Amino acid sequence: MSQAEHAEVDFDSAQDLPALHALLEHVQMKNGWAKPTPSLYPQPKQTFVPAHWRYRDARAALHAAGRLVGTEWAERRNLIMANPIPGNDYATVRTLVGAYQMIKGYESARSHRHTPNAMRVVLEGAPNMYTIVDGVKIPMLAGDILLTPNGCYHGHLSESDQEGYWIDFLDAPLVQHLNPMFFEVHPDELEKSHRVDAHSPMRFAYADYRPRLLESAEIASGVRSLELGPPSLVTFDRVVLHLFAGTQWQCVRTTANRIFTVVEGKGVTRVAGREFHWAAGDMFAVPGWNEYRIEASDDALLLRVSDEPLLRMLDWYRVDGTAW
Ligand code: GTQ
Ligand code: FE2
C-alpha cells in the first residue's frame, strides 16, 4: 500500500464558504460555483487582436540580421509576427504563427523535420533558390506557395548570389497547446539532393495559380477566390483572393483565425476600429470573431491562411448569427 498523500480533510468542520474553499486546497480542487472567470461564456472572447506587419520593416530588419545572424548557428533567420497582446511572444493568432525568413546568396538553412505543419509564400525568390523537401529540390520563385507537412524534412538553399525572402506559416502554436511536439535536425545538415521537381505536389507555382484564380468565379462583387490543394494540411488551408481595384469586400465574423499576406497590390483593411494600409509583402492578422472590410486601391492578390478546416472538422466553425 502506498502512503496516503495527505491527511483526511474534515470538510464537515467548515462553517462558511471561505472555510470550505480553503480546505479544497488540501485536495487540489477548486470550486466551480464561485470561479472568478467563468469557464464557459456566450460567445468567443477576443483575446488575440487584429494586427498588421509591414514587409518594408521586416525586410530591412532581416537584411541587417544577415550581417549579424549566421545560419550555421541559428536554426532559421526569421522574424516572428507575435500578436501584440500581453504575455505572448510567439503566436500570430491562437493556432498559427507567421514569420518572415531570409537566406543570403550561396547560403543554406539546414534540414530538419518537426510535427508542426509548415507552408511558405515566397516574396523574393530566384531560379536557383530551393526548398529541399524529403530530398527533392523545389524551386522558390516569387509568389510560389510551398508545403512542408508534418514530418517532412526540409531545408532551404540559394545557389546564386540572390537573397531570398519569404513568409513561413506554421501550426506550431496549436502543437504547443496540444503538446505532440517533436523536432530533429537532419544528420547531413543540409539534406543532399540531386533532383529538381518544379511540379512537386508541395509547390503551388504562382505562374500556375494566378491565371486559374483570375478565371475562377466571383464570390462577391470584384472578389475571386481559389483554394489551393490538394494536398491539404489538416490544420490550416490556403485560399488566394483577387480583388479588382476599387473593390470593397465586407466579411462577416467567423470562428476561424486568419492571417493574410499581400502578394500584390495595395489597399486597406478596416477591423475593430483600426485601419491597416497594406502593400505587397505585408501581413495582417484577423483573429476569430472579428468582422472586417478589405478595400483594394490597386488590383490586389491576397493569400489567406486560416484554421477553418480544423474548426470545421471539430464542428466548431461558426459564422455570425448561426451559432446553433
Ligand atoms: O523554415 O523550417 O519561421 O522550422 C519557423 C520554424 C521557419 C523553417 C520558421 C521553421 C522554419
Ligand atoms: Fe522547419
* Cα-to-centroid distance, 153 and ligand 2 (Å): 8
Q: What is the pTM of this model?
A: 0.95
Gap between the Cα atoms of 223 and 236, Å rounded: 21
Please report which confidence band the pLDDT of residue 324 belongs to, taking 50, 70 and 90 as the band edges.
Answer: confident
In this prediction, residue 2 carries a pLDDT of: 59
Q: Are residues 81 and 137 in the same domain?
A: yes
**242, part of any domain:** yes
Distance 8 CA to ligand 1 centre (A): 51
Ligand 1, atom 8, residue with closest C-alpha: 76
* Residue 27 cell numbers, joined: 485536495
**319 found inside a domain:** no
Residues 121 and 158 in one domain: yes
Number of domains in the chain: 3
Residue 322 lies in a domain: no
Task: Specify if 226 maps to a domain.
Answer: yes
| Four-residue CA torsion sign, 265, 270, 271, 276 | positive
HEC assignment per residue over the chain: CCCCCCCCCCHHHCCCHHHHHHHHHHHCCCCCCCCCCCCCCCCCCCCCCCEEECHHHHHHHHHHHHHHCCCCCCCCCEEECCCCCCCCCCCCCCCCEEEEEEECCCCEEEEEEECCCEEEEEEECEEEEEEEECCEEEEECCCCEEEECCCCCEEEEECCCCCEEEEEEECHHHHHHHCCCCEEECCCCCCCCCEECCCCCCEECHHHHHHHHHHCCEEECCEEEEECCCCCCCCCEEEEEEECCCCEEEECCECCCEEEEEEECCEEEEECCEEEEECCCCEEEECCCCCEEEEECCCEEEEEEECHHHHHHCCCCCECCCCC
pLDDT at 322 over 90: no
Domain final position from 205, 220, 253 = 205
Which of 53, 71, 75, 167 should be mutated for ligand 1, with most atoms under 8 A from CB?
Answer: 75
Whether the pLDDT of residue 30 is over 80: the answer is yes
Q: List pLDDT tens digits, range 181-232.
A: 999 999 999 999 999 999 999 999 999 999 999 999 999 999 999 999 999 9
Distance of CA 168 from the midpoint of ligand 1 (Å): 6
Give me the CATH number covering residue 98: 2.60.120.10
Judgement on whether residues 153 and 259 belong to the same structural domain of the protein: no
**Smallest-distance ligand from the CA of 173:** 1
Domain presence at residue 236:
yes
| pLDDT tens-digit series, residues 269-291 | 999 999 999 999 999 999 999 99
Residue 155 placed within a domain: yes
Same domain, 163 and 215: no
128 in contact with ligand 1, CB cutoff 6 A: no
Same domain, 60 and 95: yes
> What pLDDT is stored for residue 134 in this prediction?
97
240 or 73: whose pLDDT is higher?
Answer: 240
Which grid coordinates belong to 101? 525568413
Residue 307 CB–ligand 1 contact under 6 Å: no
The cell numbers describing 37, all together, are: 472567470
Burial 292-309 (b: 16+ CB within 10 A, else e): bebbbbebbbbbbbbbbb
Shared-domain flag, residues 213 and 273: yes
Tell me what pLDDT residue 3 has. 63
Q: How far away, in angstroms, is 244 Cα from ligand 1 center?
A: 33
CB-ligand 1 contact for 154 (6 Å cutoff):
yes
Structural domain span for residue 31: 1-40
C-alpha cell at 72: 550555421
Ligand 1 pocket test: pick from 69, 78, 107, 202 the residue with the most ligand atoms within 8 Å of its Cβ: 78
101 and 175 in a common domain: yes
